[in-house]
Amino acid sequence: MPFIKIDVLREDITREKKQELIKKISEAVTTVLNKDPHLTHIMINEVEDDNWGYAGEQVSVLKEQGFSTEKK
């Protein structure tokens, strides 16, 4: 029984985006690992910018300096 935990920054992640993420990850686990999707558990944990660090700095501070998590 696969259990997959995904940590993401709490940004513009809508209910629909979460559903798509859950669906696609479940499909990948089924295809790659040959696991029953009904036994695959996925948990999405949203983390505040102040609680996530990167390169020695809080993401909230990096965003104030122009850092973006959007795909370029």
Q: Please list the active-site residues.
A: 2
**Quick one: DSSP state of residue 3?**
E
CA–CA gap between residue 23 and residue 20 (Å, rounded):
5
Contacts within 8 Å (CB) and 24+ apart, 36-39: 39/1, 39/2
